[in-house]
Amino acid sequence: MKVLLLEDVLLEQLRFQRTIEILDLKIDLTIANNGKEGILLLKNEKTIPDLILIDLNMPGQNGIEFLKELKTLPNLKNIRTIAFTTSNDPQDIDMCYENGVSSFIHKPMNPSLYKETVKLLITYWKMNIQ
């Protein structure tokens, strides 16, 4: 499964990568630092990811702006998108669903809970995308 992670914080990028490795989840991971970079990657990639994980608070183009732009691109608008963020703001949750996310998942700070969340997230979507 190909996954695009939109995350601007290097430590969070490394945390996600390391968790995937520790859990041996075997995904093809690409990382973009913000929404604009994500759109550029999607437009230039030969293969489209199966799943996009999106942080909401990013510089340049945030997660909501990314979702809005993604919906305007005919060959990309049906990619499954998951908000994976520290936000618990009901307005953020509503905006994400209004803009087409398949799921909104709060990113836990607790290391063992984070690991379990990533495991469930990737395992679930691997089974449901293929």
Q: What is the pLDDT of residue 47?
A: 77
Q: What is the pLDDT of residue 38?
A: 94
22-43 pLDDT tens trace: 999 999 999 999 999 999 999 8
CATH of 6-129, one of 3.30.460.10, 3.90.226.10, 3.10.20.600, 3.40.50.2300: 3.40.50.2300
Q: Is the pLDDT reported for residue 122 higher than 90?
A: yes
Residue 130's contacts (CB-CB under 8 Å, 6 or more residues apart) are 1
Least Cα distance to 8 among 120, 68, 86 occurs for: 86
Q: What are phi and psi of 106, to 5 degrees?
A: -75, 130
Mean pLDDT of 99-119: 95
What does the domain layout of the chain look like in residue ranges? Answer: 6-129
pTM for the whole thing?
0.93
Q: Is the pLDDT reported for residue 75 higher than 90?
A: no
Taken as a whole, the chain contains a residue count of 130
Least reliable range by pLDDT among 15-24, 37-46, 92-101, 116-125: 37-46
Q: What are phi and psi of 108, to 5 degrees?
A: -75, 150
Q: Is the pLDDT reported for residue 15 higher than 90?
A: yes
The answer to whether the beta carbons of residues 1 and 51 sit under 8 Å apart is yes
